[in-house]
């Protein structure tokens, strides 16, 4: 484990730029790269080292964050792997994890590539909108693998200490089904509402009465269209599958309205309200867990994946005398059986 890793950030838009600004604030030895020369110039004006060539930005680094557009990710991973040293850990911030994790395995990179996904962002874009505090308290998914447990542990420490993030360990598959519900379908619903109003005869009047519920309900439809489309497209299998549940609930609500069944409507809304109550009242308990740093990591991986699936997260990872100690937080109502 490297005490103070030398980091590069490839792709410095909203997410990558926010990572870069935060890293630079705590340790100036960080490099960045972006395909857009104006973005590189903007970064240099902030005193950050952004070489013109990607290879120069990553050559002598211990850790590289990949934060470019989703479709470019596999190719960028190969380029970065080629131009960085064998010891260099690579992670990404893409919104789906199954595809890139498989790609890394197929290309023999799973030992140094840790799939990642910070659950933060806004509808804005570009380095101009970047914010070094974007990840404070945010959930940041990392996908640990048996052959990548050492870089995983290093990343947990960095994300917690530098970004004040809550690290959620998850398998790529579980991640993709969870974000379908927690992020992608919210984007689908926001797009449907905004899109329907854009074509409505009463569009102008609706804009005139748009209050909190409409603004909140359509906010992420303001995200650049290409970015949203790429995100949904990459996870289309899970999105379509989980959408079935949401559509079924919506059908239930609409049926209650059509059948003049106020009681059924109230029952449905009690369930919805209960979920919001659960979100507000989440009560997590901290506990430490120790594992030997060597061995097959089977128990360590099982602990990590179970913690994430239960809605928990990590806020610490310390290695000492052949023992790795995690600080985990687990919902009080989701204790393991």
Q: Which stretch binds its own copies (CB under 8 A): 7-15, 78-86, 153-161, 225-233?
A: 225-233
Q: Kindly state whether residue 120 participates in binding its own copies, applying the rule CB under 8 A.
A: yes
Figure out which of the listed residues 282, 287, 292, 299 binds its own copies, where binding follows CB under 8 A: 282
Q: Kindly state whether residue 304 participates in binding its own copies, applying the rule CB under 8 A.
A: no
Name which of 4 and 182 has its Cβ closer to its own copies.
Answer: 182
SS3 95: coil
Cβ(57)–Cβ(7) below 8 Å: no
Figure out which of the listed residues 216, 288, 292, 325 binds its own copies, where binding follows CB under 8 A: 216
The mark string for 66-105 relative to its own copies (x by CB under 8 A, - otherwise) is ----------------------------------------
Tokens of 290: 């120790």
* % helix, strand, coil for the chain, step of 5: 55, 15, 30
Other CB atoms within a 10 A radius of the CB of residue 129 amount to 15
Q: Kindly state whether residue 202 participates in binding its own copies, applying the rule CB under 8 A.
A: yes
Name which of 4 and 273 has its Cβ closer to its own copies.
Answer: 273
* Closest to 156 measured CA to CA, from 137, 172, 173, 169: 169
Helical H segments across the chain, by residue range:
14-26, 37-45, 54-58, 73-83, 98-106, 149-163, 172-179, 185-198, 203-208, 212-218, 225-234, 236-258, 262-280, 298-309
Sequence-separated (6 or more) residues with CB below 8 Å from residue 234: 70, 94, 95, 96, 99
Tokens of 278: 């659960």
The mark string for 167-186 relative to its own copies (x by CB under 8 A, - otherwise) is -x-x---x--xxx-xxx-xx
Name which of 25 and 240 has its Cβ closer to its own copies.
Answer: 240
Name which of 41 and 202 has its Cβ closer to its own copies.
Answer: 202
Q: Which of residues 132-161 bind its own copies (CB under 8 A)?
A: 138-139, 141
Cβ(118)–Cβ(130) below 8 Å: no
Name which of 212 and 322 has its Cβ closer to its own copies.
Answer: 212
Figure out which of the listed residues 1, 196, 299, 323 binds its own copies, where binding follows CB under 8 A: 196
Q: Which of residues 238-257 bind its own copies (CB under 8 A)?
A: 239-240, 242-243, 245-250, 252-254, 257
Phi, psi of 85 (to 5 degrees): -75, 165
Figure out which of the listed residues 192, 287, 299, 325 binds its own copies, where binding follows CB under 8 A: 192
Figure out which of the listed residues 208, 320, 322, 337 binds its own copies, where binding follows CB under 8 A: 208
Angle between helices 236-258 and 172-179 (to 10 degrees): 30
Name which of 157 and 328 has its Cβ closer to its own copies.
Answer: 328
């Amino acid at each position: 484990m490297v005490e103070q890793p030398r980091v590069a950030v490839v792709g410095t838009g909203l997410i990558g730029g926010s990572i870069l600004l935060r890293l630079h604030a705590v340790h100036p030895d960080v490099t960045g790269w972006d395909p857009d020369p104006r973005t590189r110039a903007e970064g240099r004006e902030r005193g950050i080292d952004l070489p013109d060539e990607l290879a120069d930005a990553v050559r002598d680094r211990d850790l590289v964050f990949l934060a470019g557009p989703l479709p470019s990710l596999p190719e960028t991973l190969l380029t970065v792997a080629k131009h960085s040293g064998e010891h260099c850990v690579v992670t990404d911030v893409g919104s789906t994890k199954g595809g890139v994790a498989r790609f890394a395995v197929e290309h023999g990179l799973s030992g140094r590539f840790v799939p990642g996904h910070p659950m933060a962002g806004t509808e804005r874009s570009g380095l101009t909108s970047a914010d070094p505090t974007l990840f404070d308290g945010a959930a940041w998914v990392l996908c640990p693998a048996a052959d990548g447990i050492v870089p995983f542990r290093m990343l947990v420490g960095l994300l917690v200490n530098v970004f004040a993030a809550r690290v959620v360990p998850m398998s790529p598959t579980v991640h993709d089904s969870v974000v379908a519900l927690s992020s992608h379908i919210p984007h689908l619903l926001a797009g449907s509402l905004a899109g329907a109003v854009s074509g409505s005869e009463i569009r102008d009047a609706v804009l005139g009465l748009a209050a909190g519920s409409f603004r909140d309900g359509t906010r992420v439809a303001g995200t650049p269209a290409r970015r949203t489309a790429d995100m949904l497209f990459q996870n289309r299998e899970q999105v379509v599958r989980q959408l079935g549940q949401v559509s079924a609930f919506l059908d239930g609500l609409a049926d209650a309205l059509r059948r003049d069944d106020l009681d059924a409507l109230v029952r449905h809304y009690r369930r919805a309200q209960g979920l919001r109550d659960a979100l507000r009242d989440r009560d997590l308990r901290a506990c430490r867990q120790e594992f030997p740093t060597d061995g097959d990591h089977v128990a360590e991986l099982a602990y990590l994946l179970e913690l994430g699936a239960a809605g928990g997260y990590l806020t610490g990872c310390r290695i000492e005398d052949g023992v790795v100690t995690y600080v985990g937080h687990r919902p009080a109502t989701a204790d393991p059986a």
